[in-house]
Structure 1
Amino acid sequence: METIRHFLSFLSPQLVDELLSKSTVKDIPKGTQIIREEQYIKVIPIIISGLVKVFSKFDEKELLLYYIQPQQSCIMSFSASLKNTPSKIFAITEEDSKILLIPVESLPKWLKEYTELNDLFYNQYDLRYTDLLDTIQHVLVDKMDKRLYEHLIRKAKLKHNSVIKITHGQIANELGTAREVISRVIKKLENEGKISQNTDGIKIL
Structure 2
Amino acid sequence: MKADLEKHYGYVFEDSLLSEIEKVGRLMEVKQGDILIDLNQEIRFMPLLFEGAIKILREDKDGDELLLYFIEKGDSCAMTFSCCMGSGTSEIRAVAEVDTRLVMIPVAYMELWMEKYQSWRRFVLDSYHGRMTELLETVDTLAFMKMDERLLKYLQDRAMVTHDDVIHATHQEVALDLHTSRVVVSRLLKRLEREGKIAMERHAIKLLQL
TM-score (ref. length: structure 1): 0.96
1:1-205 maps to which residues of 2 (within 5 A)? 1-7=1-7, 8-9=9-10, 10-59=12-61, 60-199=63-202, 201-205=204-208
> What's the CA shift for 1:121?
0.8
What is the identity percentage for the equivalent residue pairs of Structure 1 and Structure 2? 32
* Coordinate RMSD, CA, aligned: 1.2
Deviates more, 1:158-167 or 1:39-48: 158-167
CA distance in 1, matches of 2:111, 2:132: 23
> What's the CA shift for 1:200?
6.2
Q: Secondary structure at the match of 1:53?
A: strand
CA distance in 2, matches of 1:199, 1:107: 44
CA distance in 2, matches of 1:103, 1:145: 41
CA distance in 2, matches of 1:16, 1:110: 11
Matched pairs, number: 205
CA distance in 2, matches of 1:174, 1:5: 31
Which stretches of structure 1, 4 residues or longer, exceed 4 Å deviation after superposition? none
Give the letter aligned to residue 68 of structure 1.
Answer: I
Q: Per the alignment, do residues 200 and 109 of structure 1 end up closer, same or farther by CA in structure 2, a change over 3 Å counting?
A: same
CA contact 1:40–1:81 (8 Å) conserved in 2: no
Provide structure 1 residue ranges, at least 5 long, that are not aligned to the other structure. none
CA distance in 2, matches of 1:163, 1:23: 33
CA contact 1:197–1:203 (8 Å) conserved in 2: yes
